[in-house]
């Protein structure tokens, strides 16, 4: 049996059934009593059964009406509940956000941003993707992440980059290194000293290579390290010194032996920003979380 009834018609029937009064129901629905009577008649015709026994003083449900009432109420409740969930989603109060970030950013920035966001929107769920810049670009391009917090990607039509902050480079060395007590050191400080380089796949290596090229220096690494944490361990062991962006220091296990000294001449920084896929719409929760990230960056 296929019955074509609108939600408005079901609501009219439910209102009459629960009030047992056409006049009161019409007032609540803001329609005239004759219009309400016509609507109930349409429902009865669609159902193929009389729904109310009525006279000038009483309105009572028929057996068919009593059977229809809980069904109609359930339909209206499900509809209202569904649209309540949609309203929460559209307001950014529910949903799922997948954010991709460089390892240093996922430690120094993302947790604080999620904590601040969840205080306001506890119903939003998160997934994190962490990896080098190339991995993050692929995740955003392929839909594996809503957006990334990463370095500026190479110019291409598919991705958009919004600058967030500059992450300045420092020299990481042992406390007993002669340069450790200086307020700042130039990049030429790496000349003649064992240099521990980041992996060529990292977002750090191209920047340090460019800084050495700018100074006309040929620095041959004594070691290449796949992670910032391991790099810190090698420096602490006295195997050399390195150059890292300041946010990457959060990846290094605290060690009283290590000192970070700002690098100057030239002042070099890693540009970090939001990477999104051009032409792909983001959920309200994702857009709201991006706003939280913007505010969190200002507090760094």
Partner residues linked to 204 by β-bridges: none
- Mark whether 157 and 279 lie in a shared domain: yes
pTM: 0.75
Q: What is the per-residue pLDDT across 158-195, written as a single tens digit (0 to 9) for each?
A: 999 999 999 999 999 999 999 999 999 999 999 989 99
For 268, phi and psi rounded to 5 degrees? -115, 140
pLDDT at residue 300 is higher than 70: no
Q: What is the per-residue pLDDT across 39-93, written as a single tens digit (0 to 9) for each?
A: 999 999 988 899 999 876 789 999 999 999 999 999 888 888 877 777 777 777 7
Which of 116, 139, 137 minimizes the C-alpha distance to 127?
139
pLDDT band at 155 (very low <50, low <70, confident <90, very high): confident
Query: Rounded CA gap, 24 and 237, in Å?
Result: 84
Query: Rounded CA gap, 49 and 129, in Å?
Result: 58
Q: Return the CATH number at 23.
A: 1.10.10.10
Average pLDDT over residues 231-254: 93
- Mark whether 255 and 130 lie in a shared domain: no
Instruction: Report how many domains make up the chain.
Output: 3
- In the numeric block, which tokens belong to residue 45? 């015709």
Q: What is the per-residue pLDDT across 190-218, written as a single tens digit (0 to 9) for each?
A: 998 999 999 998 999 999 999 999 999 99
- Mark whether 266 and 292 lie in a shared domain: no
Per the domain annotation, does 108 fall within a domain?
Answer: yes
Dihedral sign computed on CA atoms, order 221, 227, 232, 237: negative
Q: Return the CATH number at 99.
A: 3.40.190.10
Residue 89's pLDDT is 76
% of the chain at pLDDT higher than 70: 97
Could you tell me the residue range of the domain that residue 29 belongs to? 7-90
Residue 82's pLDDT is 77
Q: End-to-end distance of the chain based on CA atoms, in angstroms?
A: 64
Per the domain annotation, does 123 fall within a domain?
Answer: yes
- Mark whether 102 and 67 lie in a shared domain: no
Q: Which long-range contacts (CB under 8 A, 24 or more apart) does 57-62 make?
A: 58/20, 59/16, 59/20, 59/21, 59/22, 60/20, 61/17
- Mark whether 264 and 171 lie in a shared domain: yes
% of the chain at pLDDT higher than 90: 78
């Amino acid at each position: 049996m296929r019955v074509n009834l609108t939600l408005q018609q079901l609501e009219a029937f439910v209102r009459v059934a629960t009030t047992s009064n056409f006049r009161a129901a019409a007032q609540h629905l803001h329609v005239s009593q004759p219009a309400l009577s016509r609507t109930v008649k349409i429902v009865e015709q669609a159902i193929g059964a009389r729904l109310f026994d009525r006279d000038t003083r009483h309105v009572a449900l028929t057996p068919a009406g009593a059977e229809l009432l809980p069904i109609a109420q359930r339909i209206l409740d499900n509809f209202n509940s569904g649209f309540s969930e949609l309203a929460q989603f559209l307001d950014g109060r529910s949903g799922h956000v997948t954010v991709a970030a460089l390892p240093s950013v996922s430690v120094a920035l993302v947790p604080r941003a999620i904590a601040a966001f969840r205080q306001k929107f506890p119903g939003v769920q998160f997934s994190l993707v962490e990896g080098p810049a190339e991995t993050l670009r692929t995740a955003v391009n392929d839909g594996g992440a809503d957006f990334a917090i990463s370095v500026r990607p190479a110019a291409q039509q598919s991705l958009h980059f919004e600058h967030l902050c500059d992450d300045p480079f420092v020299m990481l060395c042992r406390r007993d290194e002669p340069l450790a007590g200086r307020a700042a050191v130039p990049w030429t400080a790496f000349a003649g000293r064992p240099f521990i380089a980041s992996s060529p796949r990292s977002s750090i290596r191209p920047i340090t290579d460019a800084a050495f090229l700018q100074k006309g220096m040929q620095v041959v690494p004594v070691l290449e390290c796949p992670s910032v944490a391991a790099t810190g361990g090698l420096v602490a062991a006295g195997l050399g010194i390195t150059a890292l962006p300041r946010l990457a220091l959060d990846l290094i296990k605290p060690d009283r032996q290590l000192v970070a000294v700002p690098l100057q001449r030239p002042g070099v920084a890693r540009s970090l920003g939001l990477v999104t896929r051009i032409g792909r719409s983001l959920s309200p929760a994702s857009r709201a979380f991006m706003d939280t990230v913007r505010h969190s960056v200002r507090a760094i």
